[in-house]
Structure 1
Amino acid sequence: MFCKNEIEEYLQKDTNRKPVIMTSIDEVTFVIKPTEDTVGDYPDNWHQIASTLSEIIANKLSLPILFGNYIPLKTPPAGYTDGFTFQDLPYYFAIAWHQTNFTMGIILKFSASALSQYKSSYQDLNGKSIDVHNMAQLLDEDYYELRLSRIDFAVDYFNYKLTVNDLYQGLKTKQYIITNNKGRKNISKISAQEVNGYAQTVYIGSKKKNINALLRIYNKYQEQLDNQGRYMHLTKFCDSWIRMEASYKGTYSNQILALLLTLESSEDLSKLIVNKILDKYCFYKSTNGEALDVTSDLMKSMGDFPALESLSSRNNDLMATILYLMKGSGFYPLLWKIETIWGTEARNYFIIRLVQEYDANYVPNPDVGIWLSKFGDKLSNLNFKDLLEDAFQIFYQKNNINPKNSAKNNKNDVAD
């Protein structure tokens, strides 16, 4: 198992062109969420606070030293209004914020090329490597909340005989199956981009915006040749090059952030990448249950980390109640009727009055006590805001809703 800064030397020396695997992080998007310590009693000054805090964030990663002067951002990430990039960074990178909506935080978005350039420039300047776990540790502070909006884990297979089309056809004909790390079948949608009936890229999962996980499998060798990519020179040293790229967002990416903050080395990071690929995507032959080489070889370097969990899976009863409240209970239609007849102020008063009535007179029955004794301790370890926003995401997906307001932006941090 190799990291990106080691693979070129190995491939050059390996004249027999044996199968070998490389792990890396392709792209990453952080979000800095303001807290009371960040904005205090002056949220109206958010634009000034955001501008100052963004420069502090940039300096934490040595960005001005590496890439020169700040320049205005011509194309902020979706939903953001203001920001900057750097004069000497030729690839898409953004530090951005919304001029008035401080709840969206400050986004720090590295495209794949920008992240690669940053790591290379940092090593040239400092004589030591840096990767995303180091970046997360540099950014982590008590006076704001660090979030991970998106992270793409990549596993590159050099000189493997299996082709993208072989894998797709095997999945299509059910010769191969996909399971998670517990052996549970992955029932995600499988699709492909085909040219003359030959699969060039395979997707495991939905490409819709609100989905927390998506696996893309493609011919990296051909992609580098077609686009004259940054790593096209590696094609001279291998016969084939297939990439698996797992993109994690939302609930999953923030669980990954917690793990990144504990890592001590690039070797630990490589083990985490392998673990999180296998967490969701293990490939087996359906006839005898034998793992494909792309899975069995990964398992040799799998680290020991907690499995990724959807918050909804941790308590379906609570999630179902929240979803029922939004659709089926009549609560939303009731709010609409009140607002239409008496206005927004009346609607808000109604909600406040309900809370007051709950505080004053609600007495839980014994069933509630039984439920709390069963689930309360486990749920108390979760972030309630994450749990609630996860409910909204499920609600949007089940009802085919494309959220139009900032509530959606607060969850997914909009940049992706």
Structure 2
Amino acid sequence: MDKEVTVGVDEFSLVLFYPIYDICNDWQSTAYSMIQEFIYKADIEMLLGKVVEMHDKKPQAYSQAFTIENAPYYFAIAMHDNFVHMGILVMFTAQAWATYQERYYQMYGESVNLAKFLRMIDSPFYKFRLSRIDLTADYKNFDDLSPHSIYDKLENEQYIIVDCNDRHSKRKISAVQNDLATETLYIGSRAENSQSLLRVYNKKNEQISTNGFRLDEALNCENWVRIETSFRGKYAHQITEQLKSVFDDISMSQFIASKICDRYRFFDVSTEHYTDFTQYLIEISKNSNYPALRCESPKNNSLNKSIQHIIYGSGLFPLIYKISIIWGDKAVVEFWSILYEIYKKYHKKKLEINPQIRAWLRKNFLSLSQQSLSDCFVSVDLTKIDVAEIVNKISESDNSFTLTAINTSSNKNIVDTQIVSDEEFERSFYSKDME
């Protein structure tokens, strides 16, 4: 049989978001309207079937979910009753997406790819972006290609994996083996928060053993190896934007091949060339000009969580506000000075000999010292604030003043309302910033 290489989209998830950056007063009603709009725009009930409430196997952390009545595949539209920032999750498994594409062709006489689908569902009632997408490269009738042979050569360093700029970085390699034969290998972390993961496995065996929906294809080829890349988080968001420039099936194939090659190219050390199966993908992506997925420079984020807690969850800013109202803005600087003196007199010496602090510093000092202080605020939404400028101006502050009480009896800005804790106020006040 002739060799055959095809690329495609296996499964994907996208999230619909409330379109206005503000508090939604009636989230449940709004969410139902957004779901109805998506179902209408995507022709879900016409192409897949009646949408009904899902009672079992709802996506994790979502309180309500909907699916297709009596469908032999998994498909879900999910929402949380209370949390607007979670949006509405739409999950297409591989079979659900294949069924959708097949019925679209039967209904309209033309194909539909993911780029076209995303244009179809565009609506002023919501914003959306992919949260996960699995892109595949299928190699049929390649006698010398198998997960076992690839894993063996990676372990023996005959193969290395490089990105589109030929940069080689150490990646975690793991395998699932049966009787010492590798059935599946993974490149990258399999943790849920991993931005990308590559999986290589025997697709023919998988379809036969599971009686999969592509069983006929599996039986009609000599062998079938699949290379599958899963992109999440920032990579999936970038792919959402880049798909806007894809308009036909040929460019969609080029796009898929280029995205796989952005992160994963197998390089044969002995020949100093890419492997044949990587070269096939490069040929498919030839003449395309899609920007590579950006791999951000690694940052040491060890301080970010503590800073984020101080800003959003500690009750610090309500306390500062109370001080400023009672004694004036200069009192806030005095407050910092008092805190710093307490730190120097009572805490610094104890911290210097604390074994946990010393261990943390040994681990993080070098990398953090090469970053700026403002880098430690990256987990906080301060996009409109120049943190570096604020830090530079701190040293120019005048700390010499006396505390002066302010008469608040006539202050019209103070409103009598329900009393809440500083922490609760902080969480509610900054809730939309944290989404």
CA distance in 1: counterparts of 2:309 and 2:49, whole angstroms? 54
- Shift in Å at residue 35 of structure 1? 2.7
Aligned equivalents of 2:275 and 2:167: distance in 1?
16
2:220 is the alignment partner of 1:241: no
Partner of 2:53: 72
The residue correspondences of 1:367-406 to structure 2 (distance < 5 A) are: none
Q: Does 1:159 align with 2:127?
A: no
Distance 2:32 2:308 in 1: 38
**Contact 1:168/1:202 (<8 A) preserved:** yes
Match of 1:54 in 2: 35
- Residue 143 (structure 1) shift: 4.3
Gaps of 5+ in 2: 334-374, 385-426
Distance (whole Å) between structure 1 residues aligned to residue 128 and residue 324 of structure 2: 31
Residues 249 and 128 of structure 1: CA distance in aligned 2, closer, same or farther (over 3 Å): same
**TM-aligned CA deviation for residue 67 of structure 1:** 3.0
User: Which residue identity is paired with 1:138?
Assistant: M
RMSD: 3.3
2:305 is matched with which residue? 326
| Alignment match, 2:366 | none
Letter in 2 for 1:309: R
Distance 1:206 1:52 in 2: 38
Which residue of 316, 324, 329 corresponds with 1:347?
316
Matched, 1:304 2:289: yes
Q: Which residue of 2 aligns with 1:262?
A: 245
Residue 287 of structure 1, CA deviation: 2.2
Structure 2 distance, partners of 1:87, 1:229, is: 20
Tell me the residue number matched to 2:344.
none
Change (3 A) 1:295 1:49: same
CA distance in structure 2 between the aligned counterparts of 1:114 and 1:253, rounded to whole angstroms:
19
Aligned residues of 1:251 and 1:386 also touching (Cα < 8 A)? no
Q: How far apart, in 2, do the equivalents of 1:67 and 1:333 lie?
A: 45
TM-score norm. by structure 1 comes to 0.74
Conservation of the 8 A alpha-carbon contact between 1:179 and 1:283:
yes
Residue 105 (structure 1) aligns with: 87
Alpha-carbon separation, structure 1, partners of 2:324 and 2:273: 56
Specify the alignment match of 1:140 in structure 2: 122
Residues 256/347 of structure 1: CA separation in 2 closer, same or farther (3 Å cut): same
Three-state SS of the structure 2 residue aligned to 1:307 is: coil
Map 1:181-260; keep pairs closer than 5 Å: 181-260=164-243
Which residue identity is paired with 1:131? Answer: N
Q: Which has the larger radius of gyration?
A: 2
Report the residue type matching 1:24 in the other structure: G
Aligned AA for 2:10?
D
CA contact (8 A) 2:115 2:246 kept: yes
Classify the secondary structure of the residue corresponding to 2:193: coil
Counterpart Cα distance in 2 of 1:249 and 1:29: 9
Q: 1:266: Cα distance to partner?
A: 1.1
Per-residue CA deviation, residues 45-73 of structure 1 (Å, 9 max, x unaligned), is 11111112101101111011123322101
Q: Please report the TM-score for the alignment, with normalisation by the length of structure 2.
A: 0.70
1:32 alignment partner in structure 2: 16
1:106-125, aligned counterparts within 5 Å? 106-125=88-107
Q: How does 1:75-94 map to 2 (within 5 A)?
A: 75-94=57-76
8 Å contact from structure 1 (residues 67, 87) kept in 2: no
Q: Distance in 2 between matches of 1:266 and 1:288?
A: 34
Query: Residue 304 of structure 2 contacts residue 379 of structure 2 at CA under 8 Å; is this kept in 1?
Result: no
**Secondary structure of residue in 1 paired with 2:137:** strand
Q: Which has the higher helix share?
A: 1
Question: Hey, what's the Cα distance between the residues in 2 that align with 1:170 and 1:229?
Answer: 30
Displacement of 1:229: 1.3
Identity %: 28
Structure 1 unaligned blocks of 5 or more: 1-16, 362-378, 389-404
Return closer, same or farther for 1:355/1:177 CA change in 2, 3 Å cut-off. Answer: farther
The answer to whether the 8 A contact 1:180-1:280 is kept is yes
**DSSP 3-state at the match of 1:152:** strand
Q: Contact between 1:219 and 1:242, CA under 8 Å: does it hold in 2?
A: yes
Structure 2: how far apart are the matches of 1:333 and 1:386? 14
Distance of 2:16 and 2:382 partners within structure 1:
15
Does the C-alpha gap of structure 1 residues 386 and 135 become closer, same or farther in structure 2, counting only changes over 3 Å?
farther
3-state DSSP class of the match of 2:174? strand
Q: Output one character per residue of 1:253-309: Cα deviation in whole Å (capped at 9) or x when no partner.
A: 010001112211011111011001111111111123122111111111113211111
What is the DSSP-based 3-state SS (H/G/I as helix, E as strand, rest coil) of the residue aligned with 2:245? Answer: coil
